[in-house]
Structures are given as structure tokens and as C-alpha cells.
Structure 1
């Protein structure tokens, strides 16, 4: 068996579904949960985990976004459009989350043995198989004029519907993907295009921010002519986890994981507050 197969076919998957938590569920909570799970999985206190999550009307900014020349005005624009804004303590650029976007975290052990490319490749393989009955046209390469472009953007016919990131914590790694399931990918992209327009205001910067073209982004429903819901994709993921392992356990955070989550969440609140305060200075 090859490494990718071994990564994706553990004897047990732990399944945590937080896709229906409602609008008060914060993206900062998600980052802290994944950190807690990555530590537990890395220390072999938890099996390989899969977590689903949805956040309502949220724009998650990366550190480079916080350095836009007119970031305060750009954040005001997002808030006026009805979005809450958080700043993650990592790289990457702005992504938009709403009730039509399903996020999946696959949390693997052995981060020292499983290199970062293995983690990305595992998620690409997982998603290709997940929708293999609907399409064999999913490709992984950078869609340069999308928001938060990266080498592992997932697209069909040159239109991006998903982006992958990875966070490695101690011995565990959390590979995260957002999937634009329903709604308009172009409308989401247009909002972030305007965010950068306001944030830059034609001022030169040393960092190259994306020149977003809303036409290169779409939802799965737009690309496949389907009427999938977040719940439909959630069920597909659960079925696939069941096929790819001997059994599934559905345990929420417990014991030391809760303590780790609490500490990480408090740290993220402080860092996010500090980042936003610096923006408003």
C-alpha cells in the first residue's frame, strides 16, 4: 500500500459534525477546535478525525490582508455588507464563508512522517472520490485570479470551487478545505474583489494581492448543474469515511482536548482583538 492510501484509510475515523451550529458559532472557535484535535490525534490520543463546520456570513482575513493600506475602511465595507470579520494568526488571504460553504478538516497523525504535500494530496484525493459519480474533471492547480489563490485550488473547467489550507500543530496536521456547495461563487468573489479595491485604493504595496476575477469562481451546483445542499455533501462525506475505515466514532471534544481548546480559543480571541485594534489605530 502507498502512503496516501494509508493516510486516508485508517482503521477508525472520528467524525465531528458542526455543520449546523448556527450563526453564533465563531470561526475562531473552529481554529481552536482543530488545534486541539491536531494535538490529540498527533499524540495518538484520538484516531484520525474528520470535522465538518459551517460559519454564517464571515470573512476570515489572513495576516497579509491586515496590512492593506486602507484595511480599516475595507473592514468597514465588509461589515456594512453584513459580514463579521476575523483575522487568523497564519498566512493565506481572505476567504468568505456562509451557509452555502461547507468546511471539512481532515486531521492526521505523524506530521513528521507525513509531509505537507502528502496532506494536501490526501485532501485532493478525498474530494475527487467524494464527487466521482458526478464528475471526473476536478483539477488541483492555482487559479491565480481567485480569492486566496494557492497551488491546491480545486476547479472544474478553470472555475474554482474549493481551496485547501493546512495547519500543523506538534505531531498532528489539520488539512482544511472550504467547499462552495451552493449559491453564487461569482457573487462571493465580487464582494472580496471590492474589499481589496477599498483596501488598496490604488496605493502601491510590496505584497501582491490577488486581482480577483469573479468569473473564475463558482459553486459546485453551478458547475455540475446539481442542487446539492450542505447536508447532502455532509452525508456523502460520512458514507465515504465509513467506506474507507473499519468503523467510525462520533465523539466531541473531551478531557484534555477541552482544556486545550479553551486555552487556544482564549489565545485566538486575544490575538484577533490585538490585530483588529492595530488596524483601527
Structure 2
């Protein structure tokens, strides 16, 4: 087991759990929350913050996805399968969110002084330690045939169960990970494989979209032969944060944070309207 990353050892953690807000909680609100918290943490109003979030039956697209030649048809396919569509403000391509996928944001200060890779490596370290009693086989490298492939994909025995993105705002950075806890990773991958087939229809594109092979993706339960729930993993995260700092605070947005949230939420709405223009 690697030594715990130093970014994970602040004096205090702030913990915000939004994993149980239900289907009415929009991913647009989530990304606005992380922006507001990044500003607050960056200005030292808030300590280092961990936020949990779950979104039901939502596909989060990257900006390049919205430029697929047949994106309208691709989005119609996703919606016909019961999914809401949003466009993210952090890096990456399309991912599937549902009730079996837990998202964690770790929000750190000093983004202008800390190399961007440090944030990614801190998240990798956290997840490895989080499940160290179950496996020592979590590795970070690109699973090229997964959806939203990236250098910091997390996998066990070559099968991806998590992906990491990062959003830097002012002097704070939100490192965001989705964890496929339960359900079928291959089914989620099959959905996006079909989305890209419909959205591209064999045309040459300037951007290289992933060629997804569903069997390279799985959930933690499939990989570890466990029966973990999102709540189980949420509890693990809470206990690990308390273990790391010994001082945990839990309070919602207040003061300037509320204003920042509303401003960023409005920006997310406008960004999505622009990205998905004429696709309704």
C-alpha cells in the first residue's frame, strides 16, 4: 500500500453529504456546488471539503460529446432510455450516473501552487486506502476502451470501476470521482457504446471518441464479489475522513457561498443551453 498523499491530511475536513437527495437533485446543481466550494476553500473561508453526491439516471456529457455529428439523435436515444442529459464544466467525456454510482468531490486549497497531478494522485491514494481491507489491487492507468478514458482511471485486474476529473476555480480545485459501486459496469458501458455509434454514424471527426468495449468495465461489487451499497461506501468515506483529520465539521453553504452557488448555477444553465442548442 502506498503512503497516504499529504493533501489528504488537513487539520479539519468539512463533510457535505448530498448522496440521498433523490431524483430531483440535478447534476447542474452539483457542479455549481463544487464551484462555490472551490472558491470558498481557495479563499480559506472553508477548510478542505469532501462532498458526496448521487444523481439518478443522468448522462453527463463532455463538451466534445456535444459536437458529435449526430448528437441530436444520440441524445434522443439516451432520453428514450430514461436518462437526463447535462454537459459538465470539468474535463472528460460522457459518463453514466445512477443510484448505484457514488460521486465524491475532494476540494483542496492552493490550486495555483499545487501541480494539477497532485490532486489526481491524492484521490487515487484516498480510494486505495478506502478499500485497503478489501483489495490491494487498485491501479491507476488509462483503460483505453472504457467510456471517458483517462490517465487516472481506477481499475482492478484491468477492469475500470472509477474515473476522475478535476475542476479548478480561483485558488481551489475540486477533484471529482465517480465510483461504480453496484449494478453492471458493462451495461452502463453498452449504453454509451450505442450512444457513440448513433452520434457518430461512422463519420470522420476531428476529435477521437472512445471505442468502447463493455467488458473492460465493472462495478466494485462485481470485481470484489461484495454486496456494498452506496450507503456502505458513504459510511466508509465518512469514517476515513474522521480518521485522517480527527476534526470533522458538517454544515451547508452559508454567506458568500450561497451567492457563489447561485451565480455558478446560472452559468451552468446557460452553458447547457448553449451546448445543447437546437437539440430539444
- TM-score bin, normalised by smaller chain: over 0.9
Q: Following TM superposition, by how much is the alpha carbon of 1:206 offset from its aligned partner in structure 2, in angstroms?
A: 1.5
Q: Following TM superposition, by how much is the alpha carbon of 1:73 offset from its aligned partner in structure 2, in angstroms?
A: 0.3
Instruction: Return 5+ residue gaps in structure 2 as ranges.
Output: none
Provide, for residues 166-204 of structure 1, a one-character-per-residue CA deviation record: whole Å limited to 9, x for no partner: 001110000000000000000000000000000011111
The 5 A counterparts of 1:43-54 are: 43-54=43-54
SS of 1:133 mapped into structure 2: coil
Counterpart check, 1:213 vs 2:190: no
SS of 2:16 mapped into structure 1: strand
Q: Paired residue for 1:26?
A: 26
The 5 A counterparts of 1:57-68 are: 57-68=57-68
TM-score w.r.t. structure 2 length? 0.97
Counterpart check, 1:123 vs 2:123: yes
Q: Paired residue for 1:163?
A: 163
Contact map agreement 2:58 2:83 (CA 8 A) in 1: yes
TM-score w.r.t. structure 1 length? 0.97
Q: Following TM superposition, by how much is the alpha carbon of 1:4 offset from its aligned partner in structure 2, in angstroms?
A: 6.5
Matches of 1:117 and 1:219 in 2, distance apart?
25
Contact map agreement 1:4 1:118 (CA 8 A) in 2: no
Q: Paired residue for 1:257?
A: 257
Higher alpha-carbon deviation: 5-14 or 135-144 = 5-14
Matches of 2:72 and 2:48 in 1, distance apart?
40
Matches of 1:259 and 1:174 in 2, distance apart?
18
Provide, for residues 106-127 of structure 1, a one-character-per-residue CA deviation record: whole Å limited to 9, x for no partner: 0000112211010000000000
Counterpart check, 1:140 vs 2:140: yes
Taking only aligned residues, the RMSD between alpha carbons, in angstroms, comes to 1.1
Matches of 2:224 and 2:5 in 1, distance apart?
27
Q: Following TM superposition, by how much is the alpha carbon of 1:89 offset from its aligned partner in structure 2, in angstroms?
A: 3.3
How many residues are aligned here? Answer: 278
Q: Paired residue for 1:190?
A: 190
Counterpart check, 1:269 vs 2:275: no
Distance 1:161 1:5, change over 3 A: closer
